[in-house]
Amino acid sequence: MSGSRVVVGYEGGSTGLDALAFANRWSLASGDALTVVTVHPGAAALGAGRVDAEWVAYAREEADRLLAEAKTLVDPAIEATFARIDSGSAAHGLSDMVEVDGERALLVLGSQRSRGLRRTFPGSTAERLLQGSPVPVVMVPWGYDDIDPGPLTAIAVAYVDTPDGRAAFNYAAQIAQKLSAHLTVVSVVPDTRVVPGLGEPRLFGPSQRQGYLDSLDAIIATAPEGLAVRGELRNGPVVDALTELSLDDFDILVCGSRGYGPIRRVFLGGVSSRIVRHSKIPVLLVPRG
């Protein structure tokens, strides 16, 4: 992961503040360079060419204003660059920019504000990037800018013994080493119930639970030497168990993409799509393959 960089799609407001707050913490802990990007939407079909030119000029001025604002929010100790991209959509512009980096880049996006507790909640740009980004994506909960900054020291990874689960573990182990953080491998035993032929419903328990424990032990045994890693088994439902993880316990939750779809692209499955809409902590989605 040498030569890595963090890319923040900055659109101002609370969404931009939250994304930059996380990016500051990550870059300070990792030493990664930071690139802050605004996307200029290009000409709009508003009628006469003169009107289009006025629209383009206004949009570019607004993008430059946002970049100037972002410069005041980045920690001066971070190696940072600021770029305005001309593109038909923010999702395409950001995707094209990070395409050449592969997994050496990390794309950071803020959440839309939603009712109730502070949670992750992707907007339209994030929704598109979460179904095809060529690099890992972090969704930051709204209100993240309000928390006290500090080092990223506790990483959690959602693990199940599948190819995408193992890919998530391998990436989480890499970033835990990079950030000098502790890694917790979290598996959730689903609240599966079976109904005996003529009996009451009962939990499908001991043998299933032992299988999850064995899987945790097996994957932890593959961790890089010197990495502080432990396993944690929680009871389901799976989404509820993972979205209740809090910033008091973990700084980031790493999740894999679903097991089918384009290679080397983020591609949300049923569980991960619900997690990125309800998590209390930043969620990092790893491309499959």
Mean predicted confidence (pLDDT) in 167-174: 94
Q: What is the pLDDT of residues 54-68, one digit of tens each?
A: 777 777 888 889 999
Whole-model pTM: value is: 0.85
Final residue in a domain of this structure, among 145, 174, 200? 145
Specify whether the CB–CB gap between 208 and 193 falls below 8 A.
Answer: no
Please tell me which residue, 63 or 283, carries the higher pLDDT value. Answer: 283
Strands 202-203 and 105-110: unpaired
Asked if residue 158 and residue 128 are part of one domain, the reply reads no
pLDDT at 213 over 90: yes
Asked if residue 43 and residue 77 are part of one domain, the reply reads yes
Q: What is the pLDDT of residues 44-98, one digit of tens each?
A: 544 544 546 777 777 788 888 999 999 999 999 999 999 988 877 777 778 878 8
pLDDT at 202 over 90: no
Q: What is the pLDDT of residues 229-254, one digit of tens each?
A: 999 999 878 889 999 999 999 999 99
Asked if residue 264 and residue 178 are part of one domain, the reply reads yes
Helix (H, G, I), strand (E, B) or coil at 158: strand
Asked if residue 17 and residue 93 are part of one domain, the reply reads yes
Asked if residue 209 and residue 108 are part of one domain, the reply reads no
Asked if residue 164 and residue 255 are part of one domain, the reply reads yes
Final residue in a domain of this structure, among 110, 145, 180? 145
Torsion sign across C-alpha atoms 73, 76, 78, 79: positive
Helix (H) or strand (E) holding 17: helix 13-30
Domain count, the chain: 2
Asked if residue 76 and residue 160 are part of one domain, the reply reads no
The tokens 């900055």 sit on which residue? 10
Asked if residue 9 and residue 133 are part of one domain, the reply reads yes
Asked if residue 94 and residue 159 are part of one domain, the reply reads no
pLDDT-based confidence at residue 123 (cuts at 50, 70, 90)? low
Helices (H) and strands (E) in the chain, counts: 8, 12
Asked if residue 102 and residue 158 are part of one domain, the reply reads no
Distance CA 38, CA 62 (A): 9
Residue ranges of E strands in the chain: 5-9, 33-40, 80-86, 105-110, 137-140, 154-158, 182-189, 193-194, 202-203, 229-235, 252-256, 283-286
Distance CA 140, CA 109 (A): 6
Q: Ranked by mean pLDDT, which of 120-124, 160-164, 170-174 comes out on top?
A: 170-174
Whichever domain contains 268, its CATH number is 3.40.50.620
pLDDT-based confidence at residue 191 (cuts at 50, 70, 90)? confident
Final residue in a domain of this structure, among 88, 120, 145? 145
Asked if residue 212 and residue 95 are part of one domain, the reply reads no
Asked if residue 231 and residue 202 are part of one domain, the reply reads yes
| The pLDDT of residue 262 | 42
pLDDT-based confidence at residue 101 (cuts at 50, 70, 90)? low
Range of the domain at 75: 1-145
Would you call the peptide bond into 237 cis, given omega within 30 degrees of 0 as the criterion? Answer: yes
